Amino acid sequence: MIIVLKPDHDEEDLHRIIRRLEDLGLRAHISKGEHRTIVGAIGDERVLREVPIESLPGVESVLPILKPYKLVSREFKRENTVINVNGRQIGGEHIHVFAGPCAVESREVLEEIAESLLPSGVCFLRGGAFKPRTSPYSFQGWGEKALKFLAGVRDRTGLQVVTELMDPRDTVLVCKYADVVQIGTRNMQNFRLLTEVGNIDKPVILKRGLCSTIKEFLMSAEYILAQGNERVILCERGIRTFETETRNTLDISAVPLLKQLTHLPVIVDPSHAVGRVDLVPAMTKAAIAAGADGLLIEVHVRPEEALSDGPQSLRPSAFTKLMEECRLVAKAVGRSI
């Protein structure tokens, strides 16, 4: 249920509504837009059926949210959410690129990759310290050592660090080093982990699950917002279909659909979606045309030596060329990159 306040309401009106909801055992979620303030009533909304909330001073209307996901829905918040990451705005006019290796392999290689990204205007360095792999015998990441490498490169270059959190027990450790925490596709419905990151003061990139519907994806985001963390970035990274020519199938239609259903920023990971470096450029440009707010692209100086996902990683020269092409596409749709 959402409570829409009158434009001329005062703070006492707002506090009175919050107190009333709390007396009923509900939690109030405040969203202040450019033209309206909305209060979301979180909890068992059945208690509101016999309570005349409309009669409280400052209330304009009380409306049900029909979607099962409440806080992430456009019904709850009409304006786009723009997430500030140390001065960089995700979800605004500028399209940000999160680039780097799939896994952090060594300090030297990471520094070499980071230096190659700077001329293209990249602000975010992605790299895995903990790697969820299909085979238990594959490289699993260097853990805290890799996190220290990422932090060291940030100190040298100014690039913001994006890395994956896999285990709730590592939350404090990862947050110590990361600027943005990523929840991978295999953990999209790890509700214990989602609840944990809902309580941190860090932006979260939530990747869509391999076989998840849009509704399931948004319900997972709801877990995070319900705990109080509103800085969630949705990431379409391809879903599993019957097709075998690509690693996954990039659901481009998910981008405009998500933009209709939710106020949260939406980014695209074309690298994991297709798993083929020759297809990454086309899918990257398609994502921009579809309305993506950001891109997650794998870059490696020597893909043939990469310990993880070399076949889908762009070399720096190819990445630079792609960014030049992407600027033209972004300009055509009224954005910048």
- pLDDT tens figures, 234-289: 999 999 999 999 999 999 999 999 999 999 999 999 999 999 999 999 999 999 99
Predicted confidence at residue 217, as pLDDT, reads: 98
Runs of H (alpha helix) within the chain:
11-23, 107-117, 144-157, 171-177, 191-197, 214-226, 254-261, 270-274, 280-290, 316-332
**What CATH superfamily is the domain 83-332?**
Aldolase class I (3.20.20.70)
Q: Could you tell me the residue ranges of all domains in the chain?
A: 2-63, 83-332
Q: According to CATH, what is the number of the domain 2-63?
A: 3.30.70.1140
Other CB atoms within 10 A of residue 332 CB: 10
Which residues of the chain are modeled with pLDDT < 50? none
Contacts of residue 276, Cβ cutoff 8 Å, sequence gap at least 6? 246, 247, 311, 312
Entry pTM? 0.89
In angstroms, rounded to a whole number, what is the distance separating the alpha carbons of residues 202 and 188?
A: 17
- pLDDT tens figures, 286-319: 999 999 999 999 999 999 998 888 999 999 999 9
Predicted confidence at residue 133, as pLDDT, reads: 66
Which amino acid, one-letter code, is at 273? A
248's tokens: 């996954």
